[in-house]
């Protein structure tokens, strides 16, 4: 199996078909039928909803970063053995105004908007003085809150959508309800529908902190869940004016875990971006080369921050948590890590990932190395145990050592690593395993940042399974459990795959989650651009 992965590291893409997943497409007026090969399980009936960029330029103005393209919502419907595909652009302010003015109007993650050149010099000057508007371009993910569904990015704006018609319904400003400047695109959800998320906020005296928020489930009185949302706990920032970039966090039955990474948002740069010069969100990031990485832990029910538990480790980037759980007085944290303090997003500009294959590889060789890592955090700490490994779990080599200054130094166990081969966009059997001990994770395989395979990882044995097909570019695999399943991996994986040059270049792939063998594919005669995250709606 490891030989197989070594072989995969040499898979080449000289035809550069991956460029097709970064091309603009038009939305559809109606759902189109898919041609099915294989057998879709009879119990699989619902919708796979996906979010991603679908418009990569407005007129002659290109978007420069992968996270800039305008939000396109995709839906594969599975019903009575038939499959249809539909997509629509989300009518955000960013999209509507761009279409109306035929130019980029609102600054995105890596693309600056400039004043209308048709206006006179005084109008343009005052437009600069008003500064950058916060984007509502909700291209990253979609998730339910109460009975409703929201497309999201990482700002304070989320957009209510109809998961059936894909109609844009309402823009919601979370700042009206909670003390957050923005929230992550990866919330957690309890079995009762309660949603937890994390975002940074301004505290007293211009200090910064991270707030974990709680949005209750659907209310019996039909009141707005946002009206009853609250901050559960506040976590400190290691630097007063430089919060870390936050993309996800961990949650167990009893605790929250936040990993504070060395990729920082420079508040002075951020505020100056609202001044006279044209700047982007990417311009506000910098790396702290000396802080390493910190782990913060808080209790879930009482909202208490464990300030006495000071966990530290060497520098790494983190975007996605795989799972976090408690076992015998320890918190086990499995993450997709990128070694070092340099920001991985620096390598996701369109000019980089649209290059010819040899140039893509050269750029990726300069980027941080990806790994799947397991960290173990002891909850019971005694000062007399200085210098000893506090981790006593028999199934991991991860260590935690108490230093004389009271900090606990963590060393991880590496669960997966191969040269420039990332296991990313991880998924688990969430309803069964979130916050609990588990065995299997499913991920999108990135080959020098190009998505070209789907991987299943046994986090206990490190065994791997791979699905891959020549010139095919899949997306994040979504796990759907078989009804009444008794085994953790009894179910299917759903992934949207692009096969450039085929008669039907886009398809929904259905894999057996046990062996990663293909059960069926539903092909459509339209290209489908890259999608980032999404969900299955039964």
CA-to-CA distance for 443 and 433, rounded, in angstroms?
16
Task: Tell whether 320 is in a known binding site.
Answer: yes
Residue bearing tokens 């707005």: 224
DSSP structure string for 307-347: TT-EEEE--EEEEEEEEEEEETTEEEEEEEEEESSS-GGGG
**Residue 106 contacts residue 96 (beta carbons within 8 Å):** no
Instruction: Judge whether 64 is annotated as a binding position.
Output: no
Contact 361, 350 (CB under 8 A): no
Residue 471 has a CB neighbour count (10 Å cut-off) of 16
* Structure tokens belonging to residue 313: 């480790």
The contacts of residue 55 (CB under 8 Å, 6+ apart) are 24, 63, 69, 70, 72, 89, 95, 98
Is the distance from CB of 184 to CB of 154 less than 8 angstroms? yes
What separation, in Å, do the N-terminal and C-terminal C-alpha atoms of the chain show? 34
CA distances from 499 to 218, 236, 357, 423, 456 (A): 41, 46, 17, 21, 21
The phi, psi pair for 76, rounded to 5°, reads -105, 120
Contacts of 449 (CB under 8 A, 6+ apart): 347, 348, 352, 353, 360, 363, 364, 367, 422
Between CA 169 and CA 177, with CA 175 as vertex, the angle to 5 degrees is 80
Q: Which of 537, 317, 535, 517 is nearest to 427 (CA)?
A: 535
Our CA angle for 531, 536, 537, nearest 5°, is 130
Q: Exposure of 517 by Cβ count < 10 A (0-12 exposed, 13-18 middle, 19+ buried)?
A: exposed
Spatial distance between the Cα atoms of 492 and 510, rounded to a whole number of angstroms: 6
| 74 annotated among ligand-binding-site residues | no
CB neighbours of 10 closer than 8 A, spacing ≥ 6?
none
Phi-psi region of 390 (alpha: psi -120 to 50; beta: other; left: phi over 0): alpha
The tokens for 416 are: 């997966």
Element spanning 363, H or E: helix 357-365
How are beta strands 316-327 and 330-339 bridged, if at all?
Answer: antiparallel
Q: Is 533 annotated as a binding residue?
A: yes
Compute the distance between CA of residue 268 and CA of residue 248 in angstroms, rounded to an integer: 24
**Cα separation of 371 and 417, whole Å?**
5
Residues annotated in the binding site for Fe cation, as ranges?
Answer: 186, 247, 320, 533
Residues annotated in the binding site, as ranges?
Answer: 186, 247, 320, 533
């Amino acid at each position: 199996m490891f030989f197989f992965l070594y072989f995969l590291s040499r898979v080449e893409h000289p035809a550069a078909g991956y460029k097709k997943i970064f091309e603009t497409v038009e939305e559809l007026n109606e759902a189109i039928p898919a041609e099915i090969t294989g057998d879709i399980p009879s119990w699989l009936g619902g919708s796979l909803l996906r979010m991603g960029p679908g418009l990569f330029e407005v007129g002659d103005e290109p978007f420069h970063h992968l996270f800039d393209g305008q939000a396109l919502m995709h839906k594969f419907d599975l019903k009575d053995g038939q499959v249809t595909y539909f997509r629509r652009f989300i009518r955000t302010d960013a999209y509507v105004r761009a279409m109306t003015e035929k130019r980029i109007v609102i600054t995105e993650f890596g693309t600056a908007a400039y004043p209308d050149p048709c206006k006179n010099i005084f109008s343009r000057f005052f437009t600069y003085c008003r500064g950058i508007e916060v984007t509502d371009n909700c291209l990253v993910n979609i998730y339910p809150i109460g009975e409703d569904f929201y497309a999201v990015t990482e700002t304070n704006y989320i957009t209510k959508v109809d998961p059936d018609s894909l109609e844009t319904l309402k823009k919601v400003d979370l700042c009206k309800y909670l003390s957050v400047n923005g929230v992550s695109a990866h919330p957690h959800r309890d079995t009762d529908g309660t949603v937890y998320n994390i975002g940074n906020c301004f505290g007293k005296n211009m200090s910064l902190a991270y707030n974990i928020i709680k949005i209750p489930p659907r209310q019996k009185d039909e009141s707005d869940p946002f009206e009853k949302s609250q901050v559960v706990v506040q976590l400190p920032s290691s630097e007063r004016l430089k919060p870390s970039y936050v993309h996800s966090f961990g949650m167990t039955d009893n605790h929250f875990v936040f990993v504070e990474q060395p990729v920082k948002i420079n508040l002075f740069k951020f505020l100056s971006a609202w001044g006279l010069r044209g700047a982007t969100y990417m311009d506000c990031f910098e790396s702290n080369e000396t802080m390493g990485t910190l782990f913060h832990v808080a209790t879930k029910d009482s909202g208490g921050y464990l300030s006495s538990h000071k966990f530290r480790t060497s520098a790494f980037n983190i975007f996605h948590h795989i799972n976090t759980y408690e076992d015998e007085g320890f918190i086990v944290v499995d993450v997709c890590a990128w070694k070092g303090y340099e920001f991985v997003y620096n390598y996701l500009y369109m000019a980089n990932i649209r290059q010819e294959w040899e140039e893509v590889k050269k750029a990726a060789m300069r980027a941080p190395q990806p790994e799947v890592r397991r960290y173990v955090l002891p909850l019971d700490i005694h000062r007399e145990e200085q210098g000893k490994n506090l981790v006593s779990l028999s199934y991991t080599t991860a260590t935690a050592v108490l230093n004389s200054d009271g900090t606990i130094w963590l060393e991880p166990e590496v669960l997966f690593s191969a040269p420039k081969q990332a296991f990313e966009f991880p998924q688990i059997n969430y309803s069964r395993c979130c916050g609990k001990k588990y065995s299997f994770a499913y991920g999108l395989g990135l080959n020098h940042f190009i998505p070209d395979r789907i991987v299943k990882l046994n986090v206990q044995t490190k065994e791997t399974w791979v699905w891959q097909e020549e010139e095919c570019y899949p997306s994040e695999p979504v796990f759907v459990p078989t009804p009444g399943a008794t085994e953790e991996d009894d179910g299917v994986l759903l992934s949207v795959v692009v096969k450039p040059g085929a008669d039907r270049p886009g398809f929904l792939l259905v894999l057996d989650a046990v062996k990663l063998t293909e059960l069926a594919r539903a092909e459509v005669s339209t290209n489908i651009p890259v999608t980032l995250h999404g969900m299955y709606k039964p």
